[in-house]
Amino acid sequence: MPDCLITGCSQLLTLRGPVPRRGKALRNLGIIPDGAILIHEDRIAAIGPHRRIEKLRQARRAEKIDLAGRVVLPGFVDSHTHLIFPNSRAKEYEERIAGASYEEIAKKGGGIRSTVDTLRRATPSALKKRAIANLNLFATHGTTTIESKSGYGLDWKSELKILTLLSELHQEHPLDIHSTFLGAHVVPREYRSRPESYVKLLVDRWIPAVAMAGLAEFCDVFCDRGAFTVAQSRKILAAGRAGGLVPRIHAEQLANTGAARLAIELQAASADHLEKINAADIRALALSNVVCTLLPGCCFHLGLRDYGPARKLIDSGAIVGLATDFNPGTSPTLSMSMILSLACTQMRMTPAEAITAATINPAYSLRAHDRAGSLEVGKYADIAAFDVADYREIPYYFGVNLCAFTMKRGAVIHSKNL
Ligand code: NIG
Ligand code: FE
């Protein structure tokens, strides 16, 4: 691959600086006006003002890409998705609009368990085709790294089917995919009358097997009303940790259960959702290294009023991140710019805070901040460019995709009107 020189970045948001970002530091985007980036193979070789970079000897010989005044930032890092699922749940969407709640639908056999039923019957090739189409959409929306969970299989064969697909897709598709084992998404139908046996199966067999085979980096639990208790979640995440799987947790989405405290106790990489946390939880999270990953797409899609307390978390000094939670039940979007719009208008994050929470902080939660999440010498050339005049216009123009160009590890994977 020849070296590549990217110019025409009217605002180049580098996100350079301390990792992770807390408090006021979330507003610091490290902007270079009229910036340029020199790329050698998959990495950034130089970055700075255009006048300086163009004079480098390597730059003169490089292939040129002129972004014609676009706003340029690190590719989004989406640290919470459920990429592998067989179909939409549009029927439940309509039932909720008519007044049914997410939990009522789940109790009647809908929700996660209905996706599980369909996924178990789906062929790997059908699941893969859908996942590739969605990965391509992530790329056209400026996302270059995702995390994805298993969790719609909930029997060994089907969970393995998902984790194997994730590992194939990571190899074959340009996007980087970090895998998380979510065997503890809900208690599957077969174990409904004996949940402890399912927990034991996870702890004694599946988690060690996943860890041993290197099929996941992280272990997650849906620790909430109607899913797993704090005591069960502790056992599951501890088993993961014993095998080298770093804990993440679905916490405090439906009820305040103590899941956020568990995340702190177990030094989880991330605690996600957090809509129902209280003031003491916020203080404790602020003193920890757990990334508080807010998922405003869920509140929007479920039509709920109480978004996560982003302002209080940031002002208290917590590490805040944002993710899509792309899944068929609560958040069927893969657009990080839509998530930024929701974060700004519904949770009162500033556009700068939202961008930091969508790049370097989630990269930290994925333990990938040495290569992703900011544009600095030595890091991956993972770059997104938007058709806007100012970075604040990325959330401002809500509901449209203005991403014009995406580069992943030095390769152009999306380009529009360039
Ligand atoms: O993050 N809360 C648990 N898991 C998903 C929902 C999954 C589903 O409804 O299919 C979430 O919101
Ligand atoms: Fe989720």
Say how far apart CA 418 and CA 271 lie, in whole Å.
Answer: 39
Provide the domain limits for residue 46.
Answer: 4-74+374-415
Handedness of CA 242, 246, 252, 258 (dihedral sign): positive
pLDDT given at position 417: 83
CATH number at residue 397: 2.30.40.10
Of 345, 365, 385, which residue is a domain's last?
365
Contact, 151 vs 116, CB < 8 A? no
CA atoms within 13 A on the CB side of 169: 29
- Is 339 close to ligand 1, i.e. is its CB under 6 Å away? no
41 and 133 part of one domain? no
CATH number at residue 208: 3.20.20.140
pLDDT given at position 367: 98
Contact, 380 vs 15, CB < 8 A? no
Q: Backbone phi, then psi, for 105, in 5-degree steps? A: -65, -40
Contact, 33 vs 87, CB < 8 A? no
User: Based on the structure, what is the number of domains in the chain?
Assistant: 2
67 and 80 part of one domain? no
Say how far apart CA 234 and CA 238 lie, in whole Å.
Answer: 6
29 and 80 part of one domain? no
239 and 273 part of one domain? yes
pLDDT given at position 179: 99
Ligand 1 atom closest to residue 272's alpha carbon, by position in its atom list: 1
- Is 81 close to ligand 1, i.e. is its CB under 6 Å away? no
183 and 287 part of one domain? yes
142 and 281 part of one domain? yes
Say how far apart CA 224 and CA 39 lie, in whole Å.
Answer: 45
Paired tokens of 235: 């056992």
Contact, 44 vs 37, CB < 8 A? yes
Ligand 1 atom closest to residue 253's alpha carbon, by position in its atom list: 2
* Helices and strands per DSSP (H, E), number in the chain: 18, 15
- 181 CA to centre of ligand 1 in angstroms: 14
Contact, 401 vs 335, CB < 8 A? yes
* 332 alpha carbon, closest ligand: 1
35 and 117 part of one domain? no
pLDDT (tens place) for every residue of the chain, 418 residues total: 899 999 999 999 999 999 999 999 999 999 999 999 999 999 999 999 999 999 999 999 999 999 999 999 999 999 999 999 999 999 999 999 999 999 999 999 999 999 999 999 999 999 999 999 999 999 999 999 999 999 999 999 999 999 999 999 999 999 999 999 999 999 999 999 999 999 999 999 999 999 999 999 999 999 999 999 999 999 999 999 999 999 999 999 999 999 999 999 999 999 999 999 999 999 999 999 999 999 999 999 999 999 999 999 999 999 999 999 999 999 999 999 999 999 999 999 999 999 999 999 999 999 999 999 999 999 999 999 999 999 999 999 999 999 999 999 999 999 998 8
Give burial (CB, 10 Å; 0-12/13-18/19+) of 171. Answer: exposed
- Is 272 close to ligand 1, i.e. is its CB under 6 Å away? no
- 242 CA to centre of ligand 2 in angstroms: 23
142 and 57 part of one domain? no
Q: Crossing angle for the helix pair 156-172 and 112-121, nearest 10 degrees?
A: 80
114 and 23 part of one domain? no
Say how far apart CA 213 and CA 204 lie, in whole Å.
Answer: 15
- Identify residues whose C-beta is under 5 A from ligand 2, the ion: 325
Give burial (CB, 10 Å; 0-12/13-18/19+) of 164. Answer: middle
- Is 152 close to ligand 1, i.e. is its CB under 6 Å away? no
Beta strands in 225-318 (DSSP E): 246-251, 270-273, 291-294
69 and 96 part of one domain? no
User: Residue 55 contacts by C-beta under 8 Å, 6 or more apart in sequence?
Assistant: none
- 222 CA to centre of ligand 2 in angstroms: 8
Say how far apart CA 411 and CA 380 lie, in whole Å.
Answer: 11
- Is 327 close to ligand 1, i.e. is its CB under 6 Å away? yes
392 and 332 part of one domain? no
pLDDT given at position 1: 86
162 and 58 part of one domain? no
Ligand 1 atom closest to residue 111's alpha carbon, by position in its atom list: 9
Q: Which among 170, 168, 163, 127 is positioned nearest to 146, based on CA atoms?
A: 170
